[in-house]
Amino acid sequence: MGTGYYFWYEEQDAIIWGKEAKISFGSFVVYMANIDCENVLDTVFVEKNYLFWCRVIDKVADDILKKTGRKPDIKEVNDMLKRNNVWKDVTGIMYQDIPSNPDRNKVVKLLYRKRIQLVAFDLNIVSNFVVHYEAAC
C-alpha cells in the first residue's frame, strides 16, 4: 500500500514474516502497539469499505492498462493513488492477502486464515509502541 508503517493483525504472521524477511539480519523484533482506527479504511471486516477499495484499485489499474497496454505493478498503483490524493481522509488501511505458506493453516489445502496487515499513513494514530518479542531467524 505504499509508504507507511506496517502492522500485522496476528502475532503468528509477524513472527513468520520476521523469520522469512529478516533472515539476512539474523534476527528480528516484533512490536506491539495500539492503533486508533477511527479513520482507517477497514477492507477486511467492513464490506462497504472492501467494495470501495476494490473499485478504486480496479479503476486505477484500468487507467494504467489503457495508457500503457500492460497490467500495472503495486508501485504504479500506489503512486497513482498518492498523486490523485485518493486516501486524503484516510489515516491507514487494513487489508488482507492470501497466505501461500501451508504452515499457516491447520487444514491441508484450505487457506481459511486471513493474513491481515494494517498500514498506518499517519504515525499519530499509533501509541504504546513497545517491544514484544525478539528472536533469531
- What's the pTM? 0.85
Average confidence score pLDDT of the chain: 90
* pLDDT reading at 131 higher than 80: yes
Please report the pLDDT score of residue 101 as a whole number: 67
pLDDT in tens, 46-88: 999 999 999 999 999 999 999 999 999 989 999 999 899 988 8
Report the C-alpha gap between 13 and 94 in whole angstroms.
Answer: 14
Query: Is pLDDT larger for residue 111 or for residue 129?
Result: 129
pLDDT at 102: 67
User: Are residues 27 and 136 in contact, defined by beta-carbon separation less than 8 angstroms?
Assistant: yes
Say what the pLDDT of residue 108 is: 78
For residues 1-25, give the mean pLDDT.
88
Is the pLDDT confidence value at 111 over 80? no
Percentage of the chain lying above the pLDDT 90 cut: 61
Lookup result for grid cell 491507514: 92
The 10 Å Cβ neighbour count of residue 29 is 13
- Cα–Cα distance measured from residue 114 to residue 131, given in angstroms and rounded to the nearest whole number: 24
Indicate the domain borders of the chain: 5-136
**pLDDT for position 118:** 96
Whether residue 109 has pLDDT greater than 80: no
Residue entry with cell 492503533: 35
pLDDT of residue 114: 83
Q: Which residues pair with 83 in a beta bridge?
A: none
8 forms beta bridges with 117
pLDDT score recorded for residue 113: 79
